[in-house]
């Protein structure tokens, strides 16, 4: 199985994060796992990583709806600060709803194929690694 070097979860739902972490540990999904409660915390941390020239995540799983900064605003900010000489991470949007508006927004960000419905099980994570 392909093990990722650094993965990031951005979600304010502690139960969802707990479930994701357990599934990832069982799959030996990633060498390092970063967890943030909102998009702004993640952006600030990524900016520090960029400033210190440390390894950035190659995969980000982010909830669409969160306080402070949600998933869509996060994507816009991340694309602004991400170093041009570094490959952008793969981003999967997570949600507990099937809102047609969210699906349309995913298309505008070119993420319509990277859309996960909660709860997220090990099978969905395995598909990401393939």
Q: Are strands 30-36 and 90-95 parallel, antiparallel or unpaired?
A: unpaired
Residues of the chain with pLDDT under 50: 1
Closest CA to 62 of 106, 26, 32, 30: 106
What is residue 3's predicted lDDT score, i.e. its pLDDT? 73
What is residue 1's predicted lDDT score, i.e. its pLDDT? 47
Tell the burial category of 66 from Cβ atoms under 10 Å away from its Cβ (0-12, 13-18, 19+): buried
Pick the CATH number of 4-129 from 3.40.50.2300, 3.30.200.20, 1.10.10.10, 3.40.50.12170: 3.40.50.2300
- Tell me how many degrees the CA angle 130-83-50 measures, rounded to the nearest 5: 95
Residue spans of the domains in the chain: they are 4-129
Q: Are strands 4-10 and 59-63 parallel, antiparallel or unpaired?
A: parallel
Model pTM greater than 0.85? yes
What is residue 61's predicted lDDT score, i.e. its pLDDT? 97
């Amino acid at each position: 199985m392909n093990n990722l070097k650094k993965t990031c979860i951005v979600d304010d739902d502690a139960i969802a994060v707990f479930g994701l972490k357990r599934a990832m540990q069982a799959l030996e999904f990633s060498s390092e796992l970063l967890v943030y409660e909102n998009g702004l915390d993640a952006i600030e941390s990524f900016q520090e990583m960029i400033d210190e020239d440390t390894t950035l995540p190659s995969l980000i799983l982010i909830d669409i709806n969160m306080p402070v900064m949600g998933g869509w605003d996060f994507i816009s900010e991340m694309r602004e600060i991400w170093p041009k000489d570094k490959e952008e991470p793969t981003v999967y949007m997570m949600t507990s709803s099937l809102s047609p508006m969210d699906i349309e927004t995913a298309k505008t960000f070119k993420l319509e194929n990277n859309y996960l419905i909660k709860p997220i099980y090990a099978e969905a994570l395995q598909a990401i690694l393939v």
